[in-house]
Structure 1
Amino acid sequence: MAKQFTAEQVCDQILSYDGSDDEAVREQIIDDFDDEENKSFSIISDNSDPEYEPDNTGEISSEDDSDYDGEAANQSEPAQVPTDETENYTSKNGLVWLSADPPSSRTRGCNICHTKAGPCGKAKLILTENDALSCFLDDDILHKVIQNTNQYARMYMVSKGRDPNTWKRVDETEMKAVIGVLYLLGVYRSQHESLRSLWSSGHSGRPIFKAAFSINRFEQIVSFMRFDDRNTRQVRKINDKFAPFRSLWNAFNENCRKNYNVGPYVTIDEQLIPFRGRCSFRQYMPKKPDKYSMKLFLMCDVATAYTFNGLPYTGREGDQRCTGLEESVVKKLVEPILNSGVNVTTDNWFTSAKLTADLVCKHITLLGTMHKNKPEIPPEFHACKRRPVGSSLFGFCQKQAMVSYVPKRNKAVVLLSSMHDKKEIDEVSGKPVMILDYNKTKGPVGHVDQLCHTYSVQRRTKRWPLPYFYNCLNLAAINAQVVFVAKFPDWEAASPHRRRIFLENLGLQLLRPWMQERAQVPRLPRASQSALKRCGFMKQNPTEEEQQTGARKRRRCHICPSSLDRKTVDRCCECGHPCCNDHKRVTFICDYCSH
């Protein structure tokens, strides 16, 4: 077995030699240090570095002495830049981050995704845009809105001393038409335009709106729209600030989760719903485009921007300050995908070493940036003027990897990941692979927010549950397009306005049954009749059997004003409508058909 000496022992033996004539001692020392000929021992450092290679000459050069003295002089300096290959780093909370790569092994279980992305359940059977939307706004949600809207309308009539029977009840066809009008308002980007202007007969109006509703009826339905039972609301609001919209939000969230399987990457971030009315959990952020808004946490699929889960922020409950909110938000949002091997990308408000370790135990990996005040970050990973631009420091601890990258002088970006376990740097950009993966997966929630603002259905209101309902309509339309395109990938593939075409088709499909029903109303205003004709909806002519059975009955002339109440038994041979002697020809053709 070869003898081993430390560097300190070597120096002691050299310095202890006093030049005596003891030839045996001198030869023994020379033989011991003649490493080139005997190879009988090796010099190792005090750090016991296995990668250390001894000098073949067995001598310490003057250059080595000068380097050693310089390092000793620099030990007193506070800002020492460590060498990434030899140093370990200790954070403020006591975590030790190893600079060396962990031992390579097979792929970890938390990095294996067990789900297949794509539509599932009812979403696999869709045929039209309306079918795709019904996966998220199903009959249960519509019936809940219709029931509570009619209930509140009747209560309002009673409170004003009116007969509640004067309220015309809203049915499913009419409620779908209201939603269709809202989608078309978003398509035409008219969310900030006056409804009176849109319903006018002038150049600023659009016939589709006048053909669907009268302006008074549409405003009345929207103003009476409610989403919960008003009689039990005060009891529920004691423990839940979100009670006026909680049941509908839970139903919508459940539909989003059961109709789609997310891919291997998801993102968690916040969405801001603009609102300036009164609300106990309204936020004020002066640096945001929507300074007054309500916060909503979303989890979206990276590949398709599909909204899979959401959680509203309602502020603190009671007088206790909310602590650990960021960890609880992430854990609640990822509950449907536990043990799936999916990677979650977050920003610096959510990311922490404790959260990452908890998710790894549930077979979910996390990748995200870290704020500089987090105690898990070692001091060496912070910004330092001595660190060169483009350099990276890596640390590994308990199945977690941390990297500190210097994009420019005196600035450092720190990321934490449980998905990566190696020092990987891209050869083209020179950036760590962790940063490149983060840049690829960080944007879906922002993309969803951009889509919501581009064709938003939101209208100005003073009641905070209504903006949440508008936002549900926006998210439902985005999810409906995702499942529809997954089912029909070649649909409008070459068009740059794919989303606009989808929303327009969706709005018209929701309106068509109601407009066909409205076109058959006998005493419809002429402006509405004209708008219906321009939109392609005509009143159906009575059949021959109806004409024969109805020829013996006296009907009011459809041309004369109703105040005259002129009735006749004669019918127009073209349209079958009754016409009096003043408006009929010899051949019994009314004035409209004669033209």
Structure 2
Amino acid sequence: MIKKDLCEFSESDDEKPLTRHIKTRKKLQRFEDDDDEKDAFLNQKQNDDPDSPNNNPLPIFEKFFTNEIVQEIVRCTNIFIEKLSRKYKNSSGFTNVDEIKALLGVLILTAAMNENHFRTEDIFNSEIHGSQYVSCMSLQRFSFLVQNICFNDKETEENESDPFSPMRNIWDLLMTQCRNNSILGSNVTIDEILVPFRGSCSFKMFLPDNEKKYGIKIMTMCDSSSYYMIDAMPHLGKYTKTDGCSASEFYIKELTKSIHGTKTNVTVKGLKPSIYLAEQMLEKPYNLTMISSVKASNKEIPKVLKRNTNRSIETPSFSTVGSVTFMSYNLDSNAIRYLLATNDDKNAILENYDATKNSVVAFDQMCSDMSCKRKGNNWTTILFYHLINIVSVNSYILYCQNSKNDNRKPIQRRVFMNKLHADLANPWRKIRFGLSNMPRTVKNDILAVLNKQKKECPGIAKEKKEVPEGKRRACSMCHYKLNRKTRNVCKKCKQFICGQHTASVCVICAEDLVAIRH
């Protein structure tokens, strides 16, 4: 049986635990660790403080969304904005790394709070959603960036030879990071994920058996125990260059490149591997075993298994062809299930397949539970949302694994993503607060968010300038419509303050306050 390597402990009912989902006879069952192991893990000394450095999600997130990837997005987006500025006089300015990270933080926050389906106008309405969103960027800037974000420096139109070229560079860079930081167990699962999309795309698929119906098909390989997404490839249909081999053989060999020679078992679902491919994977340089379901119409199934249909229900029957073992299994009087395997243990074929076949489905469910996907007509933007979902799930799985190795209790996934949002967006909030032309209402919103994390004076973020004596200026604390002029200046932050916002403190107490603040 495949060993369970990862388990999450959730304190509230609204958090779905990171446990194994096995689909047997159209019913999802949950496999959890033994109670003794849970009690032993929970009774150890753990650091439960969410603000602890051990619970910092940003370093894990940056293992996937590296500075190289963010800088590439900034470079390509600025090239596209420059082209827009030639056509439109009122086009917005260029972007930078801090702003793109803040954009990622906003999208991650919508996923954490399940607000991705809200209208953009409602999300950036401070009366409805507070100051979290408006403190990062304005509604107009968010809409502009989402609409014009670009991932390649060439023309954004699809090339005839490679229709995936507008997304190819960023996709390959991020998949490389997923492979380099992968959690590999004894079994991996290959299956398809359909990213829902109904816009214009040359490789859009229609899958009538899938509840999403239309979308972009992504062939995905996940670790069967932790659900970590190791690698993924878009299915381009007729544009896929398979070099003369079948589509199943192409995707299985390409997705398993990072695990060749590891003697890992591969559970294949959604593809049609042949006997030749199964035997070939046993040899060098692959050294991989395989378990896969086979359709009853497959001509490679031995006739002995098809003839023997009168045996009792739930009684398996085996037949060997070279190094490949075929198994037939009567689910009921009318349904027969066929499996192909290259494992030595015949009795564990059905058990291992049922235990690992839905790992990619479970990963897709985790992405859907907290998704940042928004409506859009551009398929590159939709896949960008999918990449953010992949990175957020992989980051949390990696964080849970690190917490388990350090005997620490992991924080909930919603708390993890909220902290990640704050770490990504706070640098850009502080930059916006220091801008001289930023409206005072926006600065108040930024302070309202930042002061929840650390109390500080409004003028600390600004540079201290020498204030000429006798000058009268508007109070920095009052609303701008009041236009209260004053000569009083704060001795620390050099901000003009009126009598309403001035406190009388003696010299001794003032020194104590300064010492406490520092």
Quickly name the TM-score band, shorter chain normalised: 0.7 to 0.9
The change in CA–CA distance for 1:385 and 1:142 in structure 2 (over 3 A counts) is: same
Corresponding residue number in structure 2 for 1:170: 95
The change in CA–CA distance for 1:353 and 1:264 in structure 2 (over 3 A counts) is: same
Structure 2-normalised TM-score? 0.78
Say if 2:193 and 2:220, in contact at 8 Å, map to a contact too.
yes
Corresponding residue number in structure 2 for 1:550: 467
Residue 474 of structure 2 aligns with an amino acid whose one-letter code is C
The change in CA–CA distance for 1:201 and 1:410 in structure 2 (over 3 A counts) is: closer
1:164-211: CA deviation from partner (whole Å, max 9, x where unpaired): xx7432221111111011000011111111111121132x22320112
Question: Where does structure 2 lack aligned partners over 5 or more consecutive residues?
Answer: 1-52, 505-518
Corresponding residue number in structure 2 for 1:317: 239
* CA distance, structure 2, for counterparts of residue 384 and residue 417 of structure 1: 19
> Which protein shows a greater Rg?
1
* CA distance, structure 2, for counterparts of residue 289 and residue 313 of structure 1: 18
Give 1:294 shift. Answer: 0.4
* CA distance, structure 1, for counterparts of residue 209 and residue 447 of structure 2: 49
Residue 180 of structure 1 aligns with an amino acid whose one-letter code is G
Corresponding residue number in structure 1 for 2:35: none
From 342, 355, 361, the equivalent of 1:446 is: 361
The change in CA–CA distance for 1:385 and 1:173 in structure 2 (over 3 A counts) is: same
* CA distance, structure 1, for counterparts of residue 294 and residue 462 of structure 2: 77
From 393, 408, 417, the equivalent of 1:478 is: 393
1:79-115: CA deviation from partner (whole Å, max 9, x where unpaired): xxxxxxxxxxxxxxxxxxxxxxxxxxxxxxxxxxxxx
Corresponding residue number in structure 2 for 1:499: 413
Residue identity (%): 24
Corresponding residue number in structure 1 for 2:349: 434
Structure 1-normalised TM-score? 0.69
The change in CA–CA distance for 1:226 and 1:558 in structure 2 (over 3 A counts) is: farther
The change in CA–CA distance for 1:345 and 1:148 in structure 2 (over 3 A counts) is: same
Corresponding residue number in structure 2 for 1:8: none
Indicate yes or no: 2:381 matched with 1:466.
Answer: yes
Indicate yes or no: 2:132 matched with 1:208.
Answer: yes
Alignment partner of 2:434: what SS?
A: coil
Alignment partner of 1:501: what SS?
A: helix
The change in CA–CA distance for 1:413 and 1:563 in structure 2 (over 3 A counts) is: closer
Say if 1:542 and 1:576, in contact at 8 Å, map to a contact too.
no
Say if 2:199 and 2:377, in contact at 8 Å, map to a contact too.
yes
Indicate yes or no: 2:254 matched with 1:332.
Answer: yes
Say if 1:270 and 1:445, in contact at 8 Å, map to a contact too.
yes
Deviates more, 1:508-517 or 1:486-495: 486-495
The change in CA–CA distance for 1:542 and 1:291 in structure 2 (over 3 A counts) is: closer
From 489, 509, 512, the equivalent of 1:571 is: 489
Indicate yes or no: 2:70 matched with 1:142.
Answer: yes
Say if 1:189 and 1:456, in contact at 8 Å, map to a contact too.
yes
* CA distance, structure 1, for counterparts of residue 202 and residue 146 of structure 2: 23
Residue 499 of structure 1 aligns with an amino acid whose one-letter code is R
Give 1:323 shift. Answer: 6.7
The change in CA–CA distance for 1:342 and 1:251 in structure 2 (over 3 A counts) is: same
1:340-399: CA deviation from partner (whole Å, max 9, x where unpaired): 101100126333212101101131100111111111112332376522212221112222
Deviates more, 1:524-533 or 1:553-562: 553-562
Corresponding residue number in structure 1 for 2:146: 222
Corresponding residue number in structure 1 for 2:513: none
* CA distance, structure 1, for counterparts of residue 496 and residue 319 of structure 2: 88
Residue 255 of structure 1 aligns with an amino acid whose one-letter code is Q
* CA distance, structure 2, for counterparts of residue 155 and residue 134 of structure 1: 30
**Superposition pairs for residues 155-554 of structure 1, below 5 Å?**
155-160=83-88, 162=89, 167-202=92-127, 204-231=128-155, 237-317=159-239, 324-347=246-269, 349-361=271-283, 362-382=286-306, 386-422=310-346, 424=347, 433-489=348-404, 498-537=412-451, 540-541=458-459, 546=464, 549-552=466-469
The change in CA–CA distance for 1:290 and 1:528 in structure 2 (over 3 A counts) is: same
* CA distance, structure 1, for counterparts of residue 215 and residue 154 of structure 2: 25
* CA distance, structure 2, for counterparts of residue 141 and residue 554 of structure 1: 49
The change in CA–CA distance for 1:270 and 1:507 in structure 2 (over 3 A counts) is: same
Say if 2:313 and 2:330, in contact at 8 Å, map to a contact too.
yes
Give 1:463 shift. Answer: 0.6
Give 1:281 shift. Answer: 0.7
Indicate yes or no: 2:56 matched with 1:128.
Answer: yes
The change in CA–CA distance for 1:243 and 1:365 in structure 2 (over 3 A counts) is: same
1:417-461: CA deviation from partner (whole Å, max 9, x where unpaired): 101354x3xxxxxxxx21111011112110110011110011111
Say if 1:384 and 1:411, in contact at 8 Å, map to a contact too.
no
Which structure carries more relative contact order (alpha carbon 8 Å, separation 6+)? 2
Say if 1:192 and 1:459, in contact at 8 Å, map to a contact too.
yes
Aligned length: 445
Give 1:568 shift. Answer: 7.4
* CA distance, structure 2, for counterparts of residue 293 and residue 492 of structure 1: 41
The change in CA–CA distance for 1:302 and 1:320 in structure 2 (over 3 A counts) is: closer
* CA distance, structure 1, for counterparts of residue 215 and residue 462 of structure 2: 60
Say if 2:267 and 2:357, in contact at 8 Å, map to a contact too.
yes
Give 1:509 shift. Answer: 1.3
Deviates more, 1:527-536 or 1:221-230: 527-536
Say if 1:390 and 1:407, in contact at 8 Å, map to a contact too.
yes
